Amino acid sequence: MKLDVDTLGTFYEMAREGAGLAANRLSSMTDIPARVDVTHLNFTRDAAIARDLSGTEWVGIRVELSDGFGGTSLLLFDAESAETIATAVIDGIPTVTAGTLQESTVTEIAQIMNNGFVDGWANVLDTNIDVSAPTYVSADRPDEFLAGTELTPDEDELAVLFRNNLEAVGEELTFRHYLVPDSETVQRLFQARSEDRAIEFEKLVGFDRIAQRGATQVADNLTQMTGIEMDVDIRRINFISLDAIPSEVSPEPMVGVAFSFAGMPSGYLLFLFDADSARRLVSRSLETETARSLGEFERDAIQELSNVMASGMLDGWANLLDTSIDHSTPAYAHDMGAAVVDPLVVGLGDSQEFAFVFDTRIEAVDTEVDLDIYVIPDEEDLRQALGAFDMSRVAVTQPEASTDLSEQDVDLDYWDTL
């Protein structure tokens, strides 16, 4: 199956508008001002959704969709947020005892918000979408309400997932909305009508499998270079508007090391660390005391580590395509998260409106160290790359990257040239 990039863009914008409608409905019911934080169109595999929800008790509803649009919709609040919105609705009603009716209140609020999403889809598609009666879910184990849906694809499959986050003004609300169309709906709605703007879905699955191996290579490289056991925590592909990419990263000060890469495909690669993680990785790789700040010596070291990791991420694609992908010397920045990402967005903005972002999080197993990796290929190059390899090569292609830091080149001034 070939996906139509323009159609993906249309549905991405529609999902963002539906999230805005849901935020407005939440505000009108609770008097808590809310707005859309970020909307994602993800291609995700394995148990990535379950990992996204792990470690928190979630409360909300699950509904099944059919007729003009088949799939599953989950609308969830963390337990504390559910109590906040229920209290906002019930408070002041003299016949309601404190602590009661939370389940029915959360169900009603979630159903009204969910209908905002669904109504938006039905209007744009000019079709009827049947929505099942909501099932109230309350669990701290995601498999309890994900089992048996396309939210948990097989290992060699990608599920299409619309994921929306809202944020409240003046309240700490944690909210998730997941809308997962079934495979028949994906084929019917997103099938490419022409070759000009088509992405081969099966090839995207294969390309992502190589990216998964590249991420594993990066984790292994870090383990070898630092002695800290690292593991891949989250892997997914985001189809996202370029102007929304900065909202993907933490608003806190971050250490960023960026590369441009050229070949088939070309694009940008970004490693993001919080300052503590960067200092710990440097001290362990060089067997020194952990620095209190990031001076020029530490900046050089983190760039050298990133040079090795860049090869781990890109070599697999180059081997798959039997070509070379050359990356620049590393560009270092220590700034607010969005400011670190902005130069990459500007670099792509002249040629495309949306991007496929290969998004990875790597975490230490036993200590507080984490790393976010964003690979953003040029859209046209990605399309050509997906058409240039044989799927049979995916099973035998592996990334290869040396962990020798002795000959890595760095350029402290390169960031300003991006």
The C-alpha atoms of residue 164 and residue 38 are separated, in whole angstroms, by 6
Q: How confident is the model at residue 416 (pLDDT cuts 50, 70, 90)?
A: very low
The per-residue pLDDT for 95 is 42
Average pLDDT over residues 355-362: 90
Instruction: Tell me the pairing of strands 253-263 and 331-336.
Output: antiparallel
The C-alpha atoms of residue 278 and residue 259 are separated, in whole angstroms, by 17
Residue-wise pLDDT for 19-75, tens only, equals 888 888 888 888 888 887 778 888 876 556 677 777 788 888 989 999 989 988 888
Output the CA angle 111-115-116, nearest 5 degrees: 120
The per-residue pLDDT for 405 is 43
Instruction: Tell me the pairing of strands 58-67 and 129-131.
Output: antiparallel
Q: Residue 306 burial by CB count (10 A; 0-12/13-18/19+): exposed, middle or buried?
A: buried
Length of the chain: 418
DSSP for residue 194: S
pTM: 0.82
Query: What mean pLDDT is reported for the chain?
Result: 82
Q: How confident is the model at residue 160 (pLDDT cuts 50, 70, 90)?
A: confident
Residue-wise pLDDT for 244-274, tens only, equals 888 888 888 899 999 999 999 999 999 999 9
SS3 347: helix
On the question of pLDDT at 167 being above 50, the answer is yes
Give residue 362's identity as a one-letter amino acid code.
I
The C-alpha atoms of residue 369 and residue 276 are separated, in whole angstroms, by 8
